[in-house]
C-alpha cells in the first residue's frame, strides 16, 4: 500500500505566510505537465508495484489547472500505477476557482475529496494574508463543491493571526456547523523562513507571531470541535466519523509514497528523496532522466525519531508493541522513563500498548517528541 503526491507549483500570487514552493507565472505550464508525465514513466517502479490507495494533488494551486489537464494527468497516473478503484483522490483548491461548473467537472473526473484553502471567514484577515478571495466567495465555493457531490470536503483555516482577536476567531468557528464540510485542517500562523511575512517581521514591518494568542485560539478551536462532533485526530486535523484524511494518515504511519513534480518528496521506508525546489532545475533534471535531485538514507535513529514525531502528533499515538518490535525493548523502556520523568502527567496517557498525548499535550507534541530523540 502506498500513496502518490503530485505538486502543482503555480499560484496566481503569493500569500504572505506561505513557504511552499510555487511560482507566480504559468509560462512553463505545458512543459511542466509533460515533465510530470515523463517523471511518472521514469519512476513507475519506485513503489515496487504497491497498490496506490491515495492520490493527492497539492501545491501551489492545483485548481489553476483545467479539467482537461487534470484528466490527462489522471489518465497517465492510471497508466503507470496500480491505483485501487476506491482510491482517495484529493485536490487542493482555492475558493476563487471553485465555481459550480468547475466543481462538477472535478467530480466527473473521479476526484472524490477537495481540500479548500479558506484560511479565514473574516475579510480583513484574508486581505492581510494576501488571499485572493473574500469570505463570501469561500462560503460559496464550499457550497458549490457540496452541490457537485463532494461529501469528503475539507477546509483549511489559520489561527494565531494578530489581525483577528479571540472573539472574531470564535465567530469564525461558529460558521463551521453551517457548512457541509466533513473535515477541518487548522494551523497556527507560522512565518516560514522564505515567506513574505518572515521578511516583514525581520524588517520590523510586522509584529512577531504571538505564541500566547496562538495557544489560546488552539484551545478555543479544540473545545469548539469537541462540542460540535469533530474528532481531533491529529494536532492540526479534525474530522467527522469516517472522514479522516487517508493520505495524511498514511504519511503519519510512515507508509511509502512517491512525490512527483518540483519540490516533491518521496519516501520508501528507509530513504527520502526530493526533487529540486526550482522549476527550471526540475525541468532540466527530468529532461536529462534524473529521477531525484537529492536523497538521504534514514539511519535507524532517524527512523525512530521520525516515528516519534509523526505518531505523537496523532491522537492514536504510539503503538508500543510495534515500537518494541521495530526498535527493541531497551529503547521502548527509555522512552517510557523519559515520559515518566520529564513529561507532565496531564499531557499524556499510557495504557498497556499505547502512549498518546492528551489534547493539552498535543500543543507541545514537537517539544515532547524532540526531548526523546536519539541523536
Ligand atoms: S498559500 Fe497556497 S495559494 Fe497562497 S502562495 Fe502558498 S501555495 Fe499559493
Is pLDDT of 292 > 90?
no
- Give the residue whose CA is nearest to atom 2 of ligand 1: 60
Q: What is the pLDDT of residues 161-192, one digit of tens each?
A: 999 999 999 999 999 999 999 999 999 999 99
What structural domains and CATH numbers belong to the chain? 2-252 (3.20.20.70), 300-371 (1.10.10.920)
Instruction: Tell me if 126 CB under 6 Å of ligand 1.
Output: no
Of residues 176, 141, 162, 166, the one with CA closest to residue 17: 162
Q: Alpha-carbon distance 209 to 160, whole Å?
A: 7
Q: Considering only CA atoms, which residue is closest to atom 4 of ligand 1?
A: 15
Best CA proximity match to 141, nearest among 93, 70, 89 = 93
pLDDT > 90? residue 375: no
- The per-residue pLDDT for 269 is 87
State if residue 176 touches ligand 1 by the CB under 6 angstroms criterion: no
Instruction: Give me Rg for the CA atoms of the chain.
Output: 21
Q: Ligand 1: which atom is nearest the Cα of residue 94? A: 3
Cβ(119) to ligand 1 under 6 A? no
Q: Is the pLDDT of residue 293 over 90?
A: no
Helix (H, G, I), strand (E, B) or coil at 78: helix
Whether pLDDT at 294 is above 90: yes
Confidence of residue 219 (pLDDT cuts 50, 70, 90): very high
The pLDDT value recorded for residue 147 is 98
Nearest ligand 1 atom to alpha carbon 11:
8
For residue 207, what is the DSSP state?
P
pLDDT of residue 331: 93
Residues of the chain with pLDDT > 70, as a percent, come to 100
User: Ligand 1: which residue has its CA nearest to atom 6?
Assistant: 18
Q: In whole angstroms, give the CA distance from residue 215 to residue 202.
A: 22
Q: Which three cell numbers stand for residue 255?
A: 507508509
What is the number of the ligand 1 atom nearest to the C-alpha of 13?
Answer: 5
From the CA of 11, how far away is ligand 1's center (Å)? 6
- pLDDT bucket at 262, cuts 50 / 70 / 90: very high
Q: What is the mean pLDDT of residues 25-34?
A: 94
Residue 11, pLDDT > 90, answer: yes
Grid-cell match 520523568, residue found: 341
pLDDT digit string (tens) for 129-166? Answer: 999 999 999 999 999 999 999 999 999 999 999 999 99
pLDDT digits (tens, 9 = 90+) for 265-275: 999 988 999 99
CA of 322 to the centre of ligand 1 (A): 37
Cα(214)–Cα(218) distance, integer angstroms: 6
- Quote the CA–CA distance of 351 and 258 in Å, as a whole number: 35
* 363-373: burial string, b at 16+ Cβ within 10 Å, e else: bbbeebbeebe
Distances (CA, A) of 20 to 35, 198, 252, 298: 20, 13, 20, 24
- The rounded mean pLDDT for the chain is 96
Reported as a single tens digit per residue, the pLDDT across 84-100 is 999 999 999 999 999 99
Testing ligand 1's pocket by substitution, the residue of 8, 56, 59, 62 carrying the most ligand atoms inside 8 A of its CB is 59
Per-residue CA distances from 252 to 171, 307, 308, 311 (Å): 31, 8, 10, 6
Gap from CA of 60 to ligand 1 centroid (Å): 5
pLDDT in tens, 220-242: 999 999 999 999 999 999 999 99
Mean pLDDT of 312-336: 95
pLDDT tops 90 at residue 247: yes
Residue 371 Cα to ligand 1 middle (Å): 32
Give, for ligand 1, the residue of 18, 63, 133 to mutate: max count of ligand atoms closer than 8 Å to Cβ: 18
pLDDT tens across 104-131, in order? 999 999 999 999 999 999 999 999 999 9
Q: Is 94 in the pocket of ligand 1 (CB under 6 A)?
A: yes
Among the atoms of ligand 1, which is closest to the Cα of residue 17?
A: 1
Q: How far apart are CA 24 and CA 71, in angstroms?
A: 23
Provide the pLDDT confidence category of residue 352 given band limits of 50, 70 and 90. Answer: confident
154, 70, 75: which is closest to 107 by C-alpha? 70
Best CA proximity match to 364, nearest among 223, 252, 186, 215: 215
Quick check: CB of 14 below 6 Å from ligand 1? yes
59 ligand 1 Cβ < 6 A: yes
Segment 63-85, tens digit of pLDDT: 999 999 999 999 999 999 999 99
My answer on whether omega of the bond before 248 falls inside 30° of 0, hence cis, is: no
122 Cα–ligand 1 center, Å: 18
Using CA atoms, how far apart are residues 335 and 37, in angstroms rounded to an integer? 44
| Closest CA relative to residue 160, chosen from 197, 194, 204, 200 | 197
pLDDT of res. 62: 98
Pairwise CA distance, residues 150 & 111, whole Å:
9
pLDDT score recorded for residue 346? 97
- Cα of 64 vs centre of ligand 1, distance in Å, is 12
Amino acid at each position: 500500500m502506498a500513496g502518490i503526491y503530485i505538486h502543482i507549483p503555480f499560484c496566481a500570487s503569493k500569500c504572505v505566510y506561505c513557504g511552499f514552493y510555487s511560482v507566480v507565472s504559468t509560462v512553463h505550464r505545458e512543459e511542466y505537465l509533460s515533465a510530470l508525465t515523463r517523471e511518472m514513466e521514469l519512476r513507475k517502479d519506485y513503489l515496487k508495484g504497491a497498490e496506490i490507495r491515495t492520490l493527492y494533488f497539492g501545491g501551489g494551486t492545483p485548481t489553476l489547472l483545467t479539467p482537461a489537464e487534470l484528466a490527462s494527468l489522471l489518465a497517465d497516473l492510471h497508466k503507470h500505477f496500480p491505483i485501487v478503484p476506491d482510491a482517495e483522490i484529493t485536490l487542493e483548491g482555492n475558493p476563487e476557482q471553485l465555481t459550480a461548473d468547475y466543481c462538477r467537472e472535478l467530480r466527473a473526473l473521479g476526484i472524490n475529496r477537495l481540500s479548500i484553502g479558506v484560511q479565514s471567514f473574516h475579510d480583513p484577515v484574508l486581505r492581510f494574508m494576501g488571499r485572493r478571495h473574500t469570505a463570501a466567495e469561500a462560503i460559496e465555493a464550499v457550497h458549490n463543491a457540496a452541490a457537485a457531490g463532494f461529501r469528503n470536503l475539507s477546509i483549511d483555516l489559520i489561527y494565531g493571526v494578530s489581525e483577528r482577536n479571540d472573539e472574531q476567531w470564535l465567530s469564525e468557528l461558529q460558521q463551521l456547523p453551517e457548512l457541509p464540510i466533513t473535515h477541518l485542517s487548522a494551523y497556527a500562523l507560522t512565518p516560514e523562513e522564505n515567506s513574505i511575512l518572515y521578511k516583514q517581521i525581520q524588517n520590523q514591518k510586522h509584529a512577531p507571531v504571538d505564541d500566547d494568542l496562538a495557544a489560546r485560539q488552539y484551545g478555543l478551536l479544540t473545545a469548539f470541535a469537541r462540542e460540535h462532533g469533530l474528532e481531533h485526530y491529529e494536532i492540526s486535523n479534525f474530522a467527522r466519523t469516517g472522514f479522516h484524511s487517508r493520505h495524511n494518515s498514511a504519511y503519519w504511519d510512515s507508509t511509502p509514497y512517491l512525490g512527483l513534480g518540483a519540490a516533491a518528496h518521496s519516501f520508501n521506508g528507509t530513504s527520502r528523496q526530493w526533487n529540486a525546489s526550482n522549476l527550471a532545475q526540475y525541468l532540466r533534471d527530468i529532461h536529462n532522466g534524473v529521477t531525484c535531485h537529492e536523497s538521504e538514507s534514514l539511519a535507524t535513529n532517524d527512523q525512530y525519531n521520525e516515528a516519534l514525531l509523526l505518531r505523537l502528533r496523532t491522537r492514536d499515538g504510539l503503538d508500543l508493541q510495534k515500537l518494541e518490535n521495530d526498535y527493541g525493548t531497551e529503547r521502548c523502556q527509555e522512552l517510557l522513563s523519559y515520559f515518566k520523568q520529564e513529561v507532565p502527567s496531564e499531557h499524556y496517557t499510557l495504557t498497556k500498548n499505547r502512549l498518546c498525548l492528551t489534547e493539552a499535550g498535543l500543543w507541545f507534541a514537537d517539544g515532547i517528541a524532540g526531548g526523546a530523540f536519539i541523536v
